Structure 1
Amino acid sequence: MNSQEERRLLHLFETVETESEKSSISEDIDSDADPEYIVESDVSCGEESESNNEELDDRQQPVPVNVSICDNWQVPDWLRLKNITYNPDSEEVGINPDLIETMSSARPYDFFCLFLDDEVVTLLRSSRINSWVPTNPQEMRNFLGIILWMGLVNMPSLAHYWRNTHLYNSKLTNLMSRNRFEFLLSMFHISDNTKITPGDRLHKIQSLIGLLLNRFNRYVIPEEFMCIDESMVPFLETGEDVLAISTKHLDSMVNVTQRGGDKIKLQAIVEYNKGKSFIDVPDQMNSYNSFTRRSLKWYRKVTFDLLLNVAVVNALSLYSKVTNSKMKITEFRESIVEDMLT
């Protein structure tokens, strides 16, 4: 091969290489494919095609596998229930019909005595840490009546309630002396300390709680819509997304009439808004005219709260529904005190 032919072959090779580079650059610009990705040929030889088909035929389809769970894990009861039935015994909800027939004209004190009956007063009198202290049910009622009255009349200290000066003009000395009241208050007890189970602090008031709950349930069977304790759902401002889950309501929507116009809301949200309005009513009533003092031990505070706040609010609820009369909580307390201290 002479030099002229070598130059012609070299020129031809450079021309082919240049065209190949241009084609590669054009593909890089027009395509978003990975430049390092190697595209396999769509055409395969017969042997490779048959081998691939055999691999596809031998490949098994995925099969569901039952995974065993921990032995001590149990499905909650509420997951097993598709329809939760309220009041399964079909009891008549609402107020005991006997109260409506017999107490339609009763006084507030009569409704309060439904809860503070002789059995409860006897428990307060006989469960003292010093049984040698002489007392009787009437004295215990006077004692509780004085405490209830102290919540209505605010004075600087406990001693001021027995001052007979023209500034205070107290009449408590006719019912009970100050020393006697302070002695009963210091000895006030619900349980027997010798029978307390170690670590069970609720034992100090458990017997009273049982008696009161029995009486609360005796005269009223709650209706379907009620609020228990306080709501634990955080408050969300208007416009925020709300996630709702309910074991009772379906995902149905209802029309709600508001001041700005009708709106479509989730049924569960409507029932929740209806129920949460009941949350703060008892707490607000209990905060009025409360006798709780810092010097009292915790179980005495709880005892007085159960007897003179919770029981009074429940009695007011019965009074309003049975007699169809409205009375403010302060007036209701005043009426009870007048009957207890006369």
Structure 2
Amino acid sequence: MYLRSGKSKRTAPESKKSFQIFEIEQNIDEISSDESTGINSENESCESSMSSDLEESNMTESDGESTEIDESTNEDEDANDDWLDVEKIPEIFDFNGCEGVKQNWPSNIAPFEAFSLIFDNVLVEKIVKWTNHKAKILRSSRTSRQSTMRMWKDTDAQEMKKFLGVCIVMGNVKMPSLRHYWATNFIYNHPFFGRFISRNRFEAILRCLSFYDNTDDTSNRLHKIKNVVEHIVTNIQEIYSPGRNLSLDEALLLWRGRLFFRQYIPNKAAKYGIKLYELSTPNGFILNILIYEGKGTVYNQSSSHAHGVVQKLMDPYLNKGHVVYIDNFYTSVNLAESLLQQKTHIVGTLRKNRKFNPKEVINKKLAKGESVWKRKGNVVVGKWKDKREVCMISTYHEFKMVNWKNSRGIESMKPNIIIDYNQFMAGVDRADQMMSYYSTPRKTVRWYIKLFFHLFDMCIWNSMIIFKKVTEMN
């Protein structure tokens, strides 16, 4: 999320039409009819879980997870004698990474090749196996004579790619419902879709689409999608190396159906959905992802839920000198000190009621433009007032007030920590915004299908960034 006193600019859509993924064969014979599944092409975009860090109300617990966090302050636990005036320049860890694609690829790489680095043939073959397995189960169950599942034929990798390719085109061509894509009337007739796959076959594959089998641990709440998440994240981390700056934020995937770990966030437009924790680069390349599984989820036995989320997402990138920008849902003095021990810097907004915050900073009343900053070791905590007070924490910055010009050309003095936070924190928000413009259809009665299509959109978005870096295209 941003810390801005004015409105933020929306990035213009980057057309996905020019980024075609699949080379679809021509002159395919229509395949026999199958059952309907009731999916619409209405776009229900992934809405970033954003809240204003400038509001005083944001200093309380948010997002319906107050039971997961135990970072509130206690008068007897503050070690305020250790906080000193900011004089020492913090120790900056050397960054030993190199941003970009890890392998050398030719500058004329095709878009489909870039996409296949993340969503590879191995994953496609697995999805084919899982889908055919589910179709076999559905066929063996009691079905009526009219059920088209009786005529099911096993799919293969080639047909699965066509199915996914059609889903991509649906993101560019908006229709009122799924069946309108195969309509033959004057208004909605679009020959593309019927040319490559029949409506009944598309609906049959969609109904049988699966990402697990009987060998998976069903006690895991995410077992229906876990295999896909792990495969995609592994591929991403094997092919791409981020730069020094990272951002960690959460997103909300709209879901109104019944689900144990569905989140209710009353101050959001969607209100109900699946909560995702994401780690990204400042330009929006998603590096790691965690799906919130509901109360009782433990990522680290010895720390709070928020601390465990950061530790889990950052685990592949610790001890490399990265700087991670996060909001006040996660930050605390304990987290900052813990990451310092793992050669990782932290920058973010800070809630006033966190444990071990310096009282002199939290309790001091400020006039507009004033600030107060304290240091304990390499941890700097401060407060600055513009329209309202903002608390910040950093293990990377030497505090400075610098001249800053806003989008209207008005100059003012602002802390360097806040300027950098606004610059590098927007990665997850940018990715969600760009994926929403041409998202694949995912209105379905099964939560894991909707989540799969969100991951599929993420693969397309990440592969576009890889494609542009390798080909040096703007």
Shorter-chain TM-score category? 0.5 to 0.7
CA spacing shift, 1:248–1:312, aligned 2, 3 Å: same
TM-aligned CA deviation for residue 111 of structure 1? 1.3
Is 1:180 aligned to residue 201 of structure 2?
A: yes
3-state SS, counterpart of residue 209 of structure 1:
helix
d(CA) in 2 for partners of 1:126, 1:83: 52
The correspondence for 2:247, drawn from 227, 244, 264, is 227
Q: Tell me what 1:113 maps to.
A: 116
Is 1:170 aligned to residue 320 of structure 2?
A: no
Give ranges in structure 1 of 5+ residues lacking alignment.
1-68, 70-81, 327-342
Kindly report the root-mean-square deviation, in angstroms, between the aligned alpha carbons of the 2 structures. Answer: 2.7
Q: Tell me what 2:467 maps to.
A: 319
Q: Tell me what 2:281 maps to.
A: none
Alignment length, in residue pairs? 238
Q: Tell me what 1:134 maps to.
A: 154
Residue 191 of structure 1 aligns with an amino acid whose one-letter code is Y
CA spacing shift, 1:229–1:135, aligned 2, 3 Å: same
d(CA) in 2 for partners of 1:227, 1:301: 25
Q: Tell me what 2:99 maps to.
A: 93
d(CA) in 1 for partners of 2:222, 2:414: 43
CA spacing shift, 1:123–1:301, aligned 2, 3 Å: same
d(CA) in 2 for partners of 1:214, 1:278: 20
TM-aligned CA deviation for residue 215 of structure 1? 1.6
3-state SS, counterpart of residue 228 of structure 1:
strand
Deviations 1:16-53 (A, max 9, x none): xxxxxxxxxxxxxxxxxxxxxxxxxxxxxxxxxxxxxx
d(CA) in 1 for partners of 2:215, 2:112: 35
Residue 455 of structure 2 aligns with an amino acid whose one-letter code is L
Q: Tell me what 2:127 maps to.
A: 124
TM-aligned CA deviation for residue 316 of structure 1? 1.3
CA spacing shift, 1:173–1:237, aligned 2, 3 Å: farther
Give ranges in structure 2 of 5+ residues lacking alignment.
1-76, 78-89, 137-152, 251-325, 330-348, 350-383
TM-aligned CA deviation for residue 276 of structure 1? 2.6
CA spacing shift, 1:302–1:174, aligned 2, 3 Å: same
d(CA) in 2 for partners of 1:273, 1:260: 17
CA spacing shift, 1:296–1:325, aligned 2, 3 Å: farther
Is 1:201 aligned to residue 221 of structure 2?
A: yes
Residue 96 of structure 1 aligns with an amino acid whose one-letter code is K
Q: Percent identity?
A: 31
d(CA) in 1 for partners of 2:461, 2:386: 33
The residue correspondences of 1:218-257 to structure 2 (distance < 5 A) are 218-230=238-250, 232-233=327-328, 238-257=386-405
Confirm or deny: 8 A CA contact 2:101 2:240 kept in the other structure: yes
Residue 202 of structure 1 aligns with an amino acid whose one-letter code is L
Is 1:271 aligned to residue 420 of structure 2?
A: yes
Confirm or deny: 8 A CA contact 1:125 1:140 kept in the other structure: yes
Q: Tell me what 1:72 maps to.
A: none
Confirm or deny: 8 A CA contact 1:164 1:171 kept in the other structure: no
Residue 192 of structure 1 aligns with an amino acid whose one-letter code is D
d(CA) in 1 for partners of 2:398, 2:191: 61
TM-score (norm 2): 0.46
Residue 241 of structure 2 aligns with an amino acid whose one-letter code is I
Q: Tell me what 1:290 maps to.
A: 439
TM-score (norm 1): 0.62
Structure with bigger gyration radius: 1
